[in-house]
A and B are shown apart, each in its own frame.
Chain A
Amino acid sequence: MVISPLLLAGVAVALALLSALVSLFSARLPWLLRRVVTPLFTLAGLAALAAGLGTLIQGGVAVTQLPLGLPWLPWGVRLDALSGFFLCLIGVVSFAVGLYSPGYVRSFEKECGSLPALGGFSGLFLTGMLLVVLADDAFLFMVAWELMSLSSYFLVAFHHNQAANRRAAFLYLLMAHIGGLAILLGYGVLASFGDGFAFDAMRQADLSFGWASVAFVLAFVGFGMKAGLVPLHAWLPEAHPAAPSHISALMSGVMLKVAVYGFIRVVFDLIGQFHWQWSVAVLAIGSVSALMGILYALMQNDLKRLLAYSSVENIGIIFIALGLAMLFLSTGHPVVGSVAFVAALYHSINHAVFKSLLFMGAGAVLHTTHERDLEQMGGLLRRMPWTGLFFLVGCISIAALPPFNGFVSEWLTFQAALQAWQLDSGVLRSMVPIVAAVLAITGALAAACFVKVYGVAFLGQARSRHVRRARKVPFSMRLGQGVLALMCLLLGLLPTAFIDLLNAVPQQVLGHGLAQASAHGWLWLTPISAETASYGAPLVAIILVIALMLGLWLLGRGIRRVRRCDAWDCGFAPPTPAMQYTASAFAQPIRRVFGMLFHIDEGSEPQPDGRWRYYLNVRDRAWGLFYLPVAALVERASRQVVRLQSGNIRTYLGWTLATLLVLLWLTA
């Protein structure tokens, strides 16, 4: 008997729930977490991956009703190509996180009381994400969405004994709920025109441009807030680093993609109409996010915060690709539109893989050195060679360098942008090159950013004693990273195979796939046509490897011993670790050139012992420009509302009566 993908997806959800349930007992029996809970979590990931792959390969749509929900509003689930793709994404990262976490959670076993919370909310978090992707009506979607948000809130607040983490968690909760409200209202608009909360009813809805735009804006704000688009991103660099590292990997790698899924589901599938005005908004916000995200990432010295800001950048890139897709679809160019759409999907899975890998690497460093500050690190490659190697793979991938995976999606996005000459309107045509320039600058800055990270943390010499004593991390942690590093390589080497697989998604959502992508065999990726552009990823990689081997054989003659000597010291004292370039020094030229974009507080002050201390704080301008004014506005508005609160029961009754009358008048 063939197991249907939908059943497998159900198994995945059940396993995730079971892992949450079992972890309740881990307060008494701490070993349960490592031996039972995380294996269940891993299996849930594997089942989700299998369900997703099955859907993408078999094609078709599976729908069923759950015996849950309200009597007149039953919960429906649906597994189609789009859900299948995102199930794969959730599955592969959860699988790797499940492999990784036994080693990582071991350090938490001493503080027994928090173990049930960690395992339980992780399981619920995964359940929530899986259900969001499977939901077929707004009701189940919102319930699953809230489950995902709330359980991740508790995970962000896991280290709640530090005030900064509590603050980050509260900010996250607040933003998640404002976003959730926007999504709910968006569904409200669709439901009122579509007569029902089921997604099928919403698809049938016949919306005017005005109401469609209202729904689009609400969805864009709601999902954009969860995805971390500028200027709604401020919670992200606070919340993601606060969680335990394997949860940071899930949040940055997967939860942001669930928001991308929501955006695609609502805008591309449910609303189903495209207008160039919307694409301009998406392109503008995406470009700003990409550029600001990477610039702020360059300024960070806290490794996990840096990675979180880089997520803002990558989400920006995904939305640039989505914006290009909307632009080309709205102007009647379905082929180019689907190239951009595939680029967005490809970048989603790429970012999920390499960002989780990098967060796991940061977790491994944190695990053995208890250090997140780049300025204290150095020389870790020699202390932890495997983590160093996998982290290098992650850095090359995220810097969009061939032959790894980040390059493929960037290449596809550029290919879509280069078709701008097909557009009829001169204004739109001239907007695309500017977006392409932003994308190019972002890519170059990302390379600079990850040279800084790898060069400062893993190369050079240790800048502090505890980092010098770093040790290898447990095998399970290396295994989890290895799986994702391998995925980075495969996604980079075999783009044709993966694009063939995810071709079902644009076919289902847009009704138009990439017919040409692998028309010239698996060696050649030709998204539009062979004459327009081609990329032979396997060939590039093979030639690189052969030439490298040849070079090593000719010159190195195997691994020949090289005599060691002291580094060049200009004839003065030998170099010490303190004389190395620091992370903030590395970023100084860029900080100076882009200075007006940051809120920089830099200077030096005398210390009591007569020495001078240099300080540098780079803060996000979004706080001053966006959050504080909004907060002040809310405060002022609530002062006005407080006037109603007189403390007199008769006044309250009067208000109630007035409200009732108004409502009666409205419905009559």
Chain B
Amino acid sequence: MMFIEWLLAFVQALLYVALAPLLVGWIRTLKARLQNRRGPSVLQSYRDLYKLFAKEARMAHSASLLFRAAPYIVFVATWLAAAAVPFVTTSLPTAAMADVIVIAGLLALARFFLALAAMDVGTAFGGMGASREMFVSALAEPAMLMAVFTLAMTAHSTNLASMMDYQLFNDPVLRPSYMFALAGLVLVAVAETGRIPIDNPATHLELTMIHEAMILEYSGRHLALMEWAAQLKLLLYGVLLANVFSPTGIATTTDPGALGLALVVVMFKLALLGVALAISETVLAKMRLFRAPAFLNLALLLTLLGLLSHVILEVGV
């Protein structure tokens, strides 16, 4: 039983790695259609990764060992964080190993090394990207924690699988705190995954970049790992939004039929989220950097309100 659960956790972790480029490809295709372009195929992001892995990696003269190690650390830490977010089933031993605070910590570890690697070569762009990334995350990370704490306090557990179980096995109640937390977490997800209006993943204008500025010096397999890690993070936030707030459909056992159904349901939910993201990215423009604090403070305030409304209105009633 234990063995099957760990095996399932491993398969699920592989699913994350396998499906992450698909979500990005889906969003790109949708955006192209919304802009009246035909756009590349949904599978283009796989082809990009394959191309980058086949290419030779090069480094600047001034790059140190940290620069070489960083892509692996960033990828593995992001992947481990993703492996602890229930994707198709809640009977997941990795969710007990790494609760939601550890997931935030692992994402922060990835970000830490990403920012350090950006500063390693010693160009202005890298430092600028690192500075902005740490600035954005300084406001976004607390908001993310506050949002999940609202759910954690309701479920009396910081284990994501227990949180989902709690919602599945209790009668659905419309909680005001969840609405605040959901709204806040959506804003955080947009900011943390480097999407419009905080950052533009498609930009190639150095002065406006955040994430792209940090990985400017990378090439070949190093760049592929960095890109893949970013795609994993997007998928992670997608699953977090899709499964934590409405875990309907997710399997609570290791029954194959339920697992298959859960996979279909979660793919459907992610496809819907992709549509929403593509539309919002089409109608919104990127903000100036110093408009970002207003956006992020709103996220922090919403999530804090969610937590406060939970402890004031919902506890002990």
Contacts and interface: CB of A to CB of B under 8 A. Distances in A.
Interface stretch (A166-174, A249-257, A429-437): A429-437
Interface in A526-578: 530-536, 539-540, 543-544, 547-548, 551-552, 555-556, 562-570, 575, 577
30 contacts: A381-B65, A401-B105, A402-B109, A410-B101, A420-B311, A426-B312, A430-B312, A436-B145, A440-B142, A444-B138, A444-B139, A448-B135, A451-B116, A452-B131, A459-B64, A531-B162, A532-B158, A534-B97, A535-B99, A539-B97, A544-B77, A555-B225, A562-B57, A567-B122, A568-B125, A580-B123, A585-B128, A585-B131, A592-B290, A593-B290
A382 interface: yes
Interface in B90-107: 96-99, 101-102, 105-106
A590 interface: yes
A381 to B, nearest CB: 5
B226 interface: no
* A399, A414, A424: residue with the most chain B Cβ atoms closer than 10 Å: A414
A430 B72 CA distance: 41
B80 A544 contact: yes
Given A437-B146, A532-B158, A548-B73, 9 more contacts: A411-B105, A434-B304, A436-B307, A445-B138, A451-B115, A556-B68, A562-B57, A569-B123, A575-B124
Contacts of A85: none
A524 interface: yes
A433 B149 contact: yes
B122 A461 contact: yes
Contact of A429 (B57, B142, B315): B315
A421 B311 contact: yes
B142 A535 contact: no
Given A534-B99, A536-B98, A575-B122, A382 B64 contact: yes
A322 interface: no
B60 A581 contact: no
A25 B199 CA distance: 64
A490 B145 CA distance: 26
A531 B157 contact: yes
A583 B119 CA distance: 11
* A547, A552, A567: residue with the most chain B Cβ atoms closer than 10 Å: A567
A586 B127 CA distance: 7
Contact of A564 (B60, B102, B119, B152): B60
B102 A402 contact: yes
Contacts of A434: 304, 308
A89 to B, nearest CB: 24
Contacts of B157: 531-533
Given A536-B96, A581-B127, A589-B135, A421 B153 contact: yes
A455 interface: yes
B176 interface: no
Nearest to A462: B122
B85 interface: no
Nearest to A543: B80
Given A396-B109, A533-B158, A564-B61, A454 B116 contact: yes
Contacts of A568: 123, 125, 216-217
B101 to A, nearest CB: 5
Contact of A590 (B112, B119, B138): B138
A295 to B, nearest CB: 10
A540 B102 contact: yes
B111 to A, nearest CB: 7
A581 B121 CA distance: 11
Contacts of B156: 421, 531-532
Contacts of B126: 581
Contacts of A381: 64-66
Contact of A459 (B58, B116, B159, B217): B116
Contacts of A552: 72
B216 to A, nearest CB: 6
A462 to B, nearest CB: 9
B253 to A, nearest CB: 18
B221 interface: yes
Given A379-B62, A444-B141, A544-B76, A567 B217 contact: yes
A564 B217 contact: no
Contacts of B221: 555
A552 B75 CA distance: 11
A567 B120 CA distance: 11
B163 to A, nearest CB: 11
A113 B224 CA distance: 60
Given A424-B316, A535-B97, A402 B106 contact: yes
A590 B136 CA distance: 9
Contacts of B72: 548, 551-552, 555-556
Interface string B237-270: 0000000000000000000000000000000000
B102 A567 contact: no
Nearest to A445: B138
A536 B62 CA distance: 38
Interface residues of A, number: 82
B195 interface: no
A567 B62 contact: yes
A401 B131 contact: no
B226 to A, nearest CB: 12
B207 to A, nearest CB: 10
A381 B117 CA distance: 13
A349 interface: no
A447 interface: yes
* A407, A424, A445, A448: residue with the most chain B Cβ atoms closer than 10 Å: A448
A426 B137 CA distance: 31
Contacts of B273: none
A443 interface: yes
Interface string A582-596: 000111111011000
Contacts of B149: 414, 418, 433, 436
Contacts of B61: 564-567
Contacts of A630: none
Interface string B69-82: 00011011101100
Contacts of A589: 131-132, 135, 289-290
Interface string A386-416: 0000001000100111100001001100110
Nearest to A551: B72
A570 B141 contact: no
B27 to A, nearest CB: 26
A440 B58 contact: no
A448 B134 contact: yes
Contact of A433 (B79, B146, B159, B162): B146
Interface string B1-22: 0000000000000000000000
A530 B93 CA distance: 12
B216 A460 contact: no
A579 interface: yes
Given A570-B206, A580-B127, A586-B130, A433 B308 contact: yes
Nearest to B136: A589
A192 to B, nearest CB: 41
Nearest to B293: A593
A225 to B, nearest CB: 29
B111 A447 contact: yes
Nearest to B127: A581
Contacts of B131: 452, 581, 585-589
Per CB-CB distance, the 10 closest pairs between chain A and chain B, nearest first, are: A581-B127, A455-B119, A460-B122, A440-B142, A448-B134, A536-B97, A567-B60, A589-B135, A433-B307, A444-B141
A153 B75 CA distance: 48
Contacts of A579: 123-124
B122 A402 contact: no
A530 B159 CA distance: 9
A451 B122 contact: no
Interface string A247-278: 00000000000000000000000000000000
B171 interface: no
A7 interface: no
Interface string B143-165: 00110010011001111001000
